[in-house]
Structures are given as structure tokens and as C-alpha cells.
Structure 1
Amino acid sequence: MSADLLRTTYADLSGLVTGLTAGEGDRPSGCAGWTVLDLTQHLLDDARRGLVALATPAGGPVTSDAVAYWRSWQPTPDEDDGTAWRTRVRASTTGGLANLAPLYAGTAAAVGVAAGRVDAGERVGTQGWVLTAGDLCSTLAVEAAVHHLDLVADLDRPGPGPAALAEVRRVLEGLHGGPLPAGWDDATAARRGTGREPLTDADRAELGTAADRFPLFG
């Protein structure tokens, strides 16, 4: 199931990216300080990481899963700034979306093929963690779905599919330890759960002291 979800999520994102114009690459994204072009470079980096991970069998016990993986993803402002700067420098050398978008689409398609060839229970390694391949696929799909929302934040383009957003919500509720506010649709849950959108006073009243733990990952 996770491999199918990843393929669909990546296909939707590839369709978006390859359909963007050169001028849209300079538009802001939902990641503060990142343009659409910068974020596309980051997406390519993540797809490459996924491709390597799916081809890297890991020994030893599983050390993380589709939810716990995100507990470690709480970068400091300095780390965020450093990542953004390095990504922007590399994106600036690509020649724009005309070159970067098809490279991303090809890599994303390869990830989908690789995911289908690995048993969901096989252990793989990425970023110092050992996960099952199924849980790795979930983490890749969640990141892709959140960044799909980021890409369209300032564009009149379709967002991620409902299955991808439902997986983001499932992971966020796992991190939260219970249901998120019922009044949030899945896209709102993704934006507020990751700090893209601030909590309202009504949200804070409903969440109580748990509101202090937001964003659940950044």
C-alpha cells in the first residue's frame, strides 16, 4: 500500500512540477524564503535520497518508523537557514525549471519503480535510521505531499491528492498522540501541524496545553 501511495504522490507532484512555467519558478513557496525553483531542487534531493535508501538493505533492528522518523525532524532556525542557502545555490546553477523539472520527474519515477521491487517489510537505511521499506515510502510520500502544498501556496495549481493528505494527517495524529481538531480538513491539518499556518485562538482553546507542542514537525 505504501509503495502505491508513494507512486501516486510522486506522480501528482511530477505532473505539477513539469507543468510549471519558467516564471513560476521564481514565485515564493510555502517554505519561508524558498522559491518554487529552490523547493524543486530540494524535492530532487529527497527523491535521490529515497532511491539510494531503497537500494540500501540495512542490518540490525528497526530504529524508527513512519511516525517516529518525524520526531527527530525539528531543525533550528540556523539549520533551516543553512539548508535553504545551500539549496538555493545549487538551484541557481540548474538553468531553471526547464532543466530541473524533467530531472525531478525522471528520478521520482525511478523511486516508484524501486519501491515496487522491495518488500514492504524489508529493512532499509536512511539518514542514520533503519526503517522498513513501507515506512520509508510513507515518510517520502508525507514529505512530498507537504511540499506539494508549499509549491502551490502562491500558485493557482492543484494540490496533493486526498490519499497523500490523509497519510500526512495520520502521521501528525501519531505525533500528536490523538485526533487533530475535527474542523480541520486534511490540507489545513498538514499546514498547521507543520507550522506553515499559525494556530488560531480557537485551535489553541481546543488543543489546550498540547498546542505548545506545535508544530509537530517542521
Structure 2
Amino acid sequence: MTADLSGTFDPVDALRASYGAFAAVVETLDDDASWLPSGCTGWAVRDLVFHCAGDAQRALVALHTPVSAPPDRDSVTYWRDWGADQTGAANGRRWARVSASMFLDFGQLRALYLETAAATVVAGAAADPTRTVRTQGHVLRAGDLLTTLAVEATVHHLDLTVSLPGAAPPAPEGLAAVRATLDGLLGRPVPLDWSDEHYARAATGRAPLTQEERRALGSDADRLPLLS
């Protein structure tokens, strides 16, 4: 069963806003700031930026290689495989950290991210949202792919700014995509008066649940995190 997020937000607007907000923070970073810890276990800011550059590159490849197969995932069900391969995830964390460390000048990595993200936004805006594309071993409509990209960029924006208290927050459009996705994974609107940012943190394991929150969620509390 697929989720229908139509009418909740526009995927192109969500991608443009979330990538733009993330890029605006990255653009201000110098080499010293790039070594600050991020909200991702074991990653400094530069490691996270490298990971997000790779995500944008993956999107560019997907958007330029349409397939004829029908979709087997949408913007919600795409995330249901996120914790299946723990070994692969651990190897991916190590690979990102080692690869990011090879940029002796963070300015080079910063430029790589900024130009790749900008190209992804252009490609996303030009894509037919109903066209199917392949990524991460699954087939999605291009519009659903854009939503997943906005969600990942927004959640990682929260990670990026953990040690940057003066940085701008994620884009509202990206946070709306995150809320809609999390509600879709939960199967209902979250029964708590959470801000978009706190919902993003709590439902992805970045903020622990209080006892009151667990009581309000009931059995759904044990299903968190819904994605990471």
C-alpha cells in the first residue's frame, strides 16, 4: 500500500528550499568549523557534507536515467528499508569519514557540495514527476524521489547545525515534507503537540522520548525511530 502525500507540499519546492537552506549553512563554513562534531555518530561536519554531496550526486544519476519499470516504493515506503543492513551502514559511515578526510582544503569539498546540490535542484525542477527512476535498488516516481531528498537534507540540516548554534534552521518546506513522511510511516498524525523540528528529532532517534510522550504514543513508541 502506498501513501498519498499529494496536496501536503510540492516536492520541487521542498527540494529547492531544503537544499537551499542546507547550502546556505555550508557556504559559511571554514576549515575549523568543518571539524566540529555533527549530530551523526562518528561524523564531523565535513563528513556529513561529503555524505550529502554523494546523496545529491546519486539523485543526479537517477534523474537522468529513467526506467520503464513500475514503482515499487513511494516517498514513504522508501524509508522502510533504512535499518535493514547494519553492516553496510557502518561501512558507509567509515567510507564517508575516510573520503571526506582526503580533502585537505575544506573549500574544495564545500564547492563540490554547492555545485552538485545546485545541479540537483535544476534537474529535479525539470523532471517529469510521474516518470519512474531507479535508486538504492528501488524504483520511484521522480516526484517521490525529490521528496525523499528533501527529507534527508532537512534531517541532516539538524545534524549539521548541532555545533553551530548561530546557523539558520531548516526550511519550513523541508520540515513539512519530513512531518508528512513521518506521519505516513507512523500511519497517523503524531498525537503530540510537537514542533516540526522536535518531531524530526524524536522520530529519527535524535531526541529521547519522555515518559509522558511514550504514554501519548502508546504502542507506537516502540516503533521509533521511524527512520534515521
TM-score where L is the length of structure 2: 0.92
TM-score where L is the length of structure 1: 0.96
Q: Which residue of 1 aligns with 2:83?
A: 74
Q: Which residue of 2 aligns with 1:103?
A: 112
Alignment match of 2:162 (pick from 150, 153, 165): 153
- Where does structure 1 lack aligned partners over 5 or more consecutive residues? none
Q: Which residue of 2 aligns with 1:138?
A: 147
Alignment match of 2:224 (pick from 206, 214, 217): 214
2:46 is the counterpart of 1:37: yes
Could you list the runs of 4 or more consecutive aligned residues of structure 1 that deviate by over 3 angstroms after TM superposition? Answer: 75-80
State how 1:81-96 maps to structure 2 within 5 Å. Answer: 81-96=90-105
2:66 and 2:133 in contact (8 A); partners too: yes
2:196 is the counterpart of 1:180: no
2:213 is the counterpart of 1:203: yes
Question: 2:29, 2:161 → 1: CA distance?
Answer: 10
Question: 1:96, 1:36 → 2: CA distance?
Answer: 14
> What is the Cα deviation at residue 4 of structure 1?
2.3
- Where does structure 2 lack aligned partners over 5 or more consecutive residues? 1-9
2:36 and 2:163 in contact (8 A); partners too: yes
State how 1:156-175 maps to structure 2 within 5 Å. Answer: 156=165, 157-175=167-185
Which one-letter code corresponds to 2:75 in the other structure?
A
Report the number of matched residues: 218
> What is the Cα deviation at residue 96 of structure 1?
3.9
Q: Which residue of 2 aligns with 1:126?
A: 135
**C-alpha offsets along residues 138-177 of structure 1, whole Å, 9 cap, x if unaligned?**
0000000000010001212112011111110110010001
> What is the Cα deviation at residue 77 of structure 1?
4.7
1:37 and 1:96 in contact (8 A); partners too: no
- Shifted more, 138-147 versus 115-124: the winner is 115-124
1:172 and 1:193 in contact (8 A); partners too: yes
Q: Secondary structure at the match of 1:131?
A: strand
2:21 and 2:168 in contact (8 A); partners too: no
1:27 and 1:35 in contact (8 A); partners too: yes
2:23 is the counterpart of 1:28: no
Which one-letter code corresponds to 1:138 in the other structure?
T
| CA RMSD, Structure 1 to Structure 2 (Å) | 1.2
